[in-house]
Amino acid sequence: MRGKKKALLLVAHGSRLPEANQQVIALAERLTRRLNREVIACFLEIATPDIPQGIDLALAQNPDEIWVLPYFLTQGRHVQEDLPKILNEKARAYPETHIKLLDYLGAQTALEDLVAGLFDA
């Protein structure tokens, strides 16, 4: 039995500063090389591609699942309301592909370990 084919989205807020958006895109490129699978950077607002466009890019890979990692440190309104709304709309349009919203970055225990390691030197 083969494993499910996953597409990966890294979703950031988006910034008016192109350099900030480029940092997210560069992270997605590094993750693509590290994971040996494409990681697509997309943005909630201000920058492109936006989330629906990012999902369309992921769908072009013909995945069984799309995993979405909110690149947010806290669970504010964007994480609680905006992202689920956008993803649910796309999920209704493409019911054959499961879209999985992962916990936001700040909820990941690995981030806590990273921060603790900075002070444990």
The residues carrying an active-site annotation are 13
Question: CA-based diameter of the chain, in Å?
Answer: 49
Q: What spatial distance separates the first Cα and last Cα of the chain, rounded to whole Å?
A: 45
DSSP class of 81: I
85 CA to centre of own chain: 15
Residue found under tokens 């990012």: 54
Token pair of 100, please? 């999985």
